Structure 1
């Protein structure tokens, strides 16, 4: 059980993640994180995952998902599922914070967020190129729309 004040917090620029399940309780089949995207938060470079599904459930606010060259605005109550191989990114384009619950099956992508946190703590800027280098550790490659 993870209570409201529990979980591992990871701050990546204007995004705050709270890891609710890092895979240690699910045999590494599932990871779950709550993400709070500040207003006007750009997303990661568009990318494709080779080894995991990613799900996003919008709790509050609105998040723009870009899949290939198509934009979709997801509001509270919307579930977005991204299968392996689908090019995608997301951003908060609004003046309000957005909160979403993300799932990773299997859990391997949770460590990606920890690696980004360590990179920033080590003094390296979170540029798109640095982000892509970390993504590649987790069977994820950049995609061009």
Structure 2
């Protein structure tokens, strides 16, 4: 038996206008955990969501991302930017070297509210759920000029993604706005 070494830039890439995902280690490699390198473009917001069966780990490699990993006092359906936990937690602006662990059932989100791409290592258990999800969502993002929210919701429903706030892809939130400050 042998391990797997994946050099920089290697792996199967899926690229759309809304995301770039490189599969680093997958179920096909014998792993029970899927590892991806993800480029998060300016203005991308995955939306707050939960998974009942999956656990995830995010590690910021380059750039900055706003991260959320808690149950809020009040779940709002339009935006997670102002959420607050019973303990006073709020979304965090995370830079390179920051990480986030998500156990099953925990609301979480990330967005790039800057004007520069961010890059993260993303790990998901069990494989191959997120592998298939990324393949299918890239097909949706590549299908035309607009993204069908119905198609995204149908996909998420089939992959244990309970969406709380919408996925968004557009211009980044201005840095001095209340949403960027988490206010």
By how many angstroms is 1:26 displaced? 3.0
Paired with 1:36 and 1:121, the residues of 2 have a C-alpha distance of: 16
Instruction: State the TM-score, normalizing by the size of structure 2.
Output: 0.70
Matches within 5 A, 1:17-28: 17-27=21-31
Instruction: State the TM-score, normalizing by the size of structure 1.
Output: 0.86
Structure with the bigger percentage of strand: 1
Between 1:70-79 and 1:113-122, the stretch displaced more is 113-122
> For residue 16 of structure 1, what is the aligned residue in structure 2?
20
Gap regions ≥5 residues in structure 2: 73-82, 84-89, 166-183
> For residue 110 of structure 2, what is the aligned residue in structure 1?
90
> For residue 64 of structure 2, what is the aligned residue in structure 1?
62
The answer on 1:112 being equivalent to 2:117 is: no
> For residue 52 of structure 2, what is the aligned residue in structure 1?
50
By how many angstroms is 1:10 displaced? 1.2
Gap regions ≥5 residues in structure 1: none
Between 1:124-133 and 1:61-70, the stretch displaced more is 124-133
Paired with 2:18 and 2:141, the residues of 1 have a C-alpha distance of: 13
User: Is the alpha carbon distance of 1:73 and 1:15 closer, same or farther for their aligned partners in structure 2, counting shifts above 3 Å?
Assistant: same
> For residue 34 of structure 1, what is the aligned residue in structure 2?
37
Paired with 2:66 and 2:13, the residues of 1 have a C-alpha distance of: 23
Larger Rg computed on CA atoms: 2
Paired with 2:57 and 2:131, the residues of 1 have a C-alpha distance of: 13
Aligned residues: 143
Between 1:59-68 and 1:103-112, the stretch displaced more is 59-68
Between 1:1-10 and 1:80-89, the stretch displaced more is 1-10
> For residue 156 of structure 2, what is the aligned residue in structure 1?
135
User: Is the alpha carbon distance of 1:124 and 1:116 closer, same or farther for their aligned partners in structure 2, counting shifts above 3 Å?
Assistant: farther
